[in-house]
Amino acid sequence: MQASVQAYPRAGETPIPPLLDVMILYEDFGTGLRAKRSLDLLPDHLRANAKLTTKLWRTQLLADPLLSEQAAREGAAADVIIISLHGQGTLPAEVQAWLGCWLRHKQRRPYALGVLLDSGEVNHGSENPVVSYMQQLAATARVDLFYGFSEAPMTALDPAMEEINRRAHQSSTLLEDMLKRTEPHRWWGINE
């Protein structure tokens, strides 16, 4: 999709810079970073005074109906939606449900959908189940679709984030066990 935005102001008015709203749905830190890096290439193709806004949504949050609805409304207001996943297997159920909700909110105007998957999925190309699903959705929605394959970047933070997630899970499990063992009334008040 090649798009250019031109604002033609009235005589004596300052030109209005174009605005491009982008929504990124990402699976984890690495896939989110991959999507952000792809956006870093856009300013080279936009006019110097163009503005780019970005909204980020982790796909796990879409399992909550209220958050999914909010994300669908934000997606309907976006110009570009990028979904960055590892891409092994089918499209996650919460993303499929979100896309259905987005279709109900989407307006009759141009949109672009992007799918970024791990480089290991390049051998499947358009036969990849995620890409195939998105091609059908794009045809139904009458929107432009682009997809690509690259490795989700590993950063020095990835091992640290994995350790933080592991410890957080252990801590919450330990806290739940402690609360189950205590008498329900024992810790209710300061003076008791």
Domain boundaries of the chain, sorted by first residue: 19-155
Burial of 74 (0-12, 13-18, 19+ CB in 10 A): middle
The pLDDT score that the predictor gives to residue 51 is 78
C-alpha to C-alpha distance for 81 and 115, rounded to whole angstroms: 9
User: DSSP letter string over 27-76?
Assistant: SSHHHHHHHHHHHHTGGGTS-TT-EEEEEEEEGGGGGSHHHHHHHHHHHH
pLDDT tier at 75, thresholds 50, 70, 90? very high
pLDDT tier at 7, thresholds 50, 70, 90? very low
CA distances 44 to 22, 48, 50, 99, 176, Å, are 16, 8, 11, 30, 51
Task: Tell whether pTM > 0.95.
Answer: no
CATH superfamily membership of 19-155: Flavodoxin domain (3.40.50.360)
